[in-house]
Amino acid sequence: MIAAIRFVDSAVRKVLTAFCAVLLLAMVAFTVYSVVMRYVFKDPPIWGDLLTVLSNIWLVFFALALTVRDKDHIALDLIYDWLPGKVAFAIRQFWTGIIFCLGLVMIIWGIEAVQTMGGKYWEMWYFAWEDGGIVFKPNYMPKKYAVAIVPISGVLVCAAAIASIIEDSLRLRRGT
């Protein structure tokens, strides 16, 4: 059972890291393309800046889940080293619990934001799932697609916090 959980944890980390790498590459590519088209060819794409910003936002939200899982978020590691083990454990668990609550807030209000988000990006066309397949929509992309990262990231943050709490609890039981 533990081996399966570790496998899933490792797979999720790798997938999130790959998504972050792709989004970073896309962000750079959109920026370079937009700049070249704007200053060299005097014909900038309408969608270039928007895709750069959306790639950046999604990258940051996916990276949030990775930093929670790897415990790379802002922490006072020096103070934890000075404190007795059980006190440091309790403080870390407290902060991880707070981060878990942040993930819940992201899920609850993120879903609400997606459901109530109006408006469309006029510069973007999009694909949609209809009649059992992906269909190209020569219409404007709804803004709720961009906001959908908030509840997705909330789920990932909650899962990462739970995994971190379990991992730390097992380490405490082993005495490490």
Per-residue pLDDT reduced to its tens digit, 63-93: 999 999 988 766 667 777 788 878 888 988 9
Per-residue pLDDT reduced to its tens digit, 96-118: 999 999 999 999 999 999 999 98
Q: In angstroms, how far is the first alpha carbon of the chain from the final one? A: 22
Q: What is the pLDDT averaged over residues 49-65?
A: 93
Say if CB 123 and CB 47 are below 8 A apart: yes
The domain spans of the chain are 2-174
Q: What is the pLDDT of residue 131?
A: 85
- How far apart, in whole angstroms, are the C-alpha atoms of residue 176 and residue 170? 9
- Read off the tokens for 54: 């959306």
DSSP H/E element including 148: none
- Residue 157's pLDDT band, with cuts at 50, 70 and 90, is very high
- Residues contacting 32, CB < 8 A, separation 6+: none
Q: What is the pLDDT of residue 107?
A: 98
Q: What is the pLDDT of residue 74?
A: 64
